[in-house]
Structure 1
């Protein structure tokens, strides 16, 4: 099962690379055509923007799986491990609730987005914003997975601190030492 999930996330990373490559090709091609030939590509205004939306939302899912989201753990670092677990649980529950709202909100907006057509590409906007269905579902699933791992005792103490910076381990060690003395 782990291999299947790893392959799925590799697929998501491949989609992100395709989005970046598509944005690059469209924007660069349009710049060259405008500067050198006084013409351009009509869809080069919309397509890179749509690809950026997909890149952002898919990247959020990949970043969540790898614990790469931005965070401020200054207060959490000063807490004992038990309270770190409580804070981590609360954050997972809050992320789950937000993910469900994203999913349900997109689902409720589907008919409107399906009937709204983009100006240049004539693409239903449900194709553009449909990525939030994927994002909401996957992030909610990741939260449930994390909470199940926590209930089973499979979450390591170092996973409770999600910010990785140079010197953070020294700060954590000094806080622990100060607490002991």
Structure 2
């Protein structure tokens, strides 16, 4: 992942978190301090949280920051063919999971096109859309790694106790 793209995703996640924190804080102060609140605060926070999670998941994949069970693969280091076969199997499993996620998210996007949120009025398709985009992006990255024959990053072994 290029440094520019990494900075953009980090900035986008930080902006989502900042707006969410501000919206929730203001809403809490208004509710408990003045007996009123901003109804749009909850919808906005929910929408931003969903987008932040999927932007983060997409950004984490090329960094190798997703959960990894490298301790299961460490014994295969002395068997390069077995490790290569396992790498292919893992990449194909990631692509399969992404295809399933993308298919389900697409169905939800289509359903959400006809309905709108209660307060803000945005199309409900905006809630599953980041899952669709994330699944497509990760599947393409995994496919690219598979085509290029990239080895798995076993650098997480230092985290194993």
TM-score, normalised to structure 2, is 0.86
Q: Which moved more, 1:115-124 or 1:59-68?
A: 115-124
Shift of 1:66: 0.3
For the Cα contact (< 8 Å) 1:68–1:162, is it kept in 2?
A: no
What SS does structure 2 have at the residue aligned with 1:115? coil
What SS does structure 1 have at the residue aligned with 2:158? coil
Give the structure 2 partner of residue 71 of structure 1.
68
Shift of 1:162: 5.6
Indicate the RMSD between aligned Cα atoms, in angstroms: 2.1
Shift of 1:92: 1.1
The alignment covers a number of residue pairs equal to 159
Give the structure 2 partner of residue 174 of structure 1.
none
Of 54, 57, 60, the match for 2:57:
60
Give the structure 1 partner of residue 30 of structure 2.
33
Which residues of structure 2 form unaligned runs of 5+?
none
Shift of 1:13: 2.1
CA distance change for structure 1 residues 165 and 34 in 2, over 3 Å: closer, same or farther?
farther
Cα distance per residue 1:68-108 (max 9 Å; x no partner): 01122222112235122322221111111111222233223
- Tell me, yes or no, if structure 1 residue 91 matches structure 2 residue 103: no
CA distance change for structure 1 residues 15 and 39 in 2, over 3 Å: closer, same or farther?
same
Give the structure 1 partner of residue 134 of structure 2.
135
Shift of 1:65: 1.0
For the Cα contact (< 8 Å) 1:16–1:59, is it kept in 2?
A: yes
Larger Rg: 1
Which residues of structure 1 form unaligned runs of 5+?
172-181
